[in-house]
Structure 1
Amino acid sequence: MSSWWVGRWPVVDPDIPDDDKRRIVGNNALADRRFVPTGRASVFVVFCGLLLIYLIVVLSGKMAAGDVSLANGTLGIVIPLLVATAVGAPITHYARLRSPRRLTELYQHQYVVPADLDQPARLLLDRAGHAIETVHDSRVNRLGWLDSVANDVVLPRRLWEIARRLRTQSELRAEQARATRGVVTPELHAVLSPQRAALRRSVDEVTGQVAALEAYARRVQAADAALHAQDLLRSNDKYRDLLAHTDDVEGLGVLASRADGVGAVLANSVREAVAAGRTLAVF
C-alpha cells in the first residue's frame, strides 16, 4: 500500500495527476511558496541553436571557398554545440516539468503548505496527519488486513479536504483579526458576529473529522496490540512446561483460556478497524 505522501508537505489534492503530485509533495521550493528560476537551461539551448545555425552557414561558405583549415576549426565548435544541444534539450524539459513556477501556476489552489495555515489550523492538521501515519505504519496495514480503498483512496482525500478547509479558516481568522484592529462599531459587530459563528461551526465540523481519523487510528492500534498478543502465544508452550513441573493446574487453565480469547479479540479488533475506516468515506 502506497504511503509516500504521508506526513510530507505540501498536502495535495488527490485529483492532481500522479506525476505532478509526486513533483509537488516534498518539494521544498513549494513548501514555503518560494520560486526557483528555471530559465537558464532554456536560454542555453536557444543560444546553442542560434549559434549552431550561424556556424553552419559560415562553414558552408568556407567549404565552398576551399578554406579547409577554417572549416575544420569550425567543425571543432559545431560538434560540441550539437552534443550540448542534444543533451540540454531533455535537461530543459525535465527542469520545466519540476519547475516550482509551472507547478504553482497549474495547481496553486490544489496544495496546502505550512505558510497557508495559522497555529490552530496547523495543530488540527498535525493531528490528522499523525492519525493517518499511525494507520499506514501499523502491522495490520502492512499485512493487508485493512481496507485498502479506505487507506489508499479515502485517507488522502480526507486529509486534503481537511487541509483545504483549514486554509480557508486561517484566511478568515486573519481577515477578522484585521477587521477588529480599529474601533469595533455596532455595525461592524453586527457583520462579524454571524461570520464568527459560521467559522466556529466549520471548525467544529473539521475537528469532528479529525477525531474520526483518530478513532480509526485507535482501532488500528488495538488490532496491532491483539496481533502482538497472538505473537506472544507462541511462547505459551514454555510456560506450560514451567507450570507442569509444579502441577499448577489452575495456571495451565488460565493460559489455555487466554489463548482461546486472543484469537477472537484479534479477529474482532481487525473487523472494528476495517469498519471504522469505511465510515470515513461517508463524511
Structure 2
Amino acid sequence: MSATWDDDRPKPDLRIGPGARVLATLRAIGIVLVLVLAVIVVGIVRLIERAGGPLFRPVSPGLNRLTLRTALLITGVRLKQRGRPMRGGGALVSNHVSWLDILVLNSLMRVTFVAKDEVSRWPGVGIVVRLAGTVFIKRDRREARAQIDLFLGHLQSGHKLMFFPEGTSTDGQRVVPFKTTLFAAYFDDSLRDVMKVQPVTILYHAPEGHDPRFYGWWGDMDLGPHLMAVLGTMPQGTAEVVFHAPVRVADFKDRKALAAYCEAAVRGPVEAALAD
C-alpha cells in the first residue's frame, strides 16, 4: 500500500461561520440530489448497455460526465482548461490533490478512473468514484496479468484510463515521485506498440484571502470539515487543468523512463505557479 503524503506544517483552518454552514448545507443537498438521480438513471442505462458486453458504454460515460459537471457547478468552483484531452483510447496520468479531482477531470472529458481497491469503501467518496465508472484494482503483483487484461479491454473499447501515479494526494503545492508499478503494464507486448500516455496537471487557485493549500485534502484531514469548508465558500477559486502532449509508450525504453518523463511534465506547471 502506498504511504499517505503529509508534512509538518499546520493544516489550513477549516472552521466556518453560521452563514457559510447554511450555504454548505444547501450545496451539499443539491449535490446529493443530483447524485441520487444519477445513480438511478445511470444504473438503468448500464443494465441496457450490458447487453452489448461488460465494456460496451456508449451512453453512461456521457451521463457520468454531465452529473459530475453539474456537481462541480453546484460547488461554485470555476474551471479553466489548457490544452486538450487526446483523442481515442489511452492512459492519462495526473497529480492528485483533492476529492475535487474526480469532479474536475470528469467535467472535461469521458474518463475511466483507476484507483486502489480501498477507495471504493471510503464513505461518500466511494459513491462518487463508482458513479464515475472507476476501475478498482488491488496493488498486488499476483494481480498483474489480470490488470493488464483489464486495461487492454478498456483500451480496445476506446476508453481513456486515468491514473494518479503519486499513489497519494498532496497539498497541491508539489508533485511527489511517481510510482512506476502501474506503468509496467503499458510495456506488455499486447499494449506497448498501441499505447499512448498523456500527462495532466491539476492546479488549484484558492479563493482570495485563503490558504493556497485550501483545496488540498491530504494526510489525516477529515473529509467532513473539508467538504463543509469548500462548499461554504463564496466566491470560489479556480481549478485549472493542463493537458500536455501525449507520448507513445514505444518511444521509451522502460517504465522508469516513461514515469520520469510524465512526472517532470506534470510537475512543470506546479513549479511555475509557485514561482509567480
Band of TM-score, shorter chain:
under 0.3
Give the structure with the higher percent strand: 2
- With structure 1 as the length reference, what TM-score do the two structures score? 0.22
Larger RCO (alpha carbons 8 Å, 6+ apart):
2
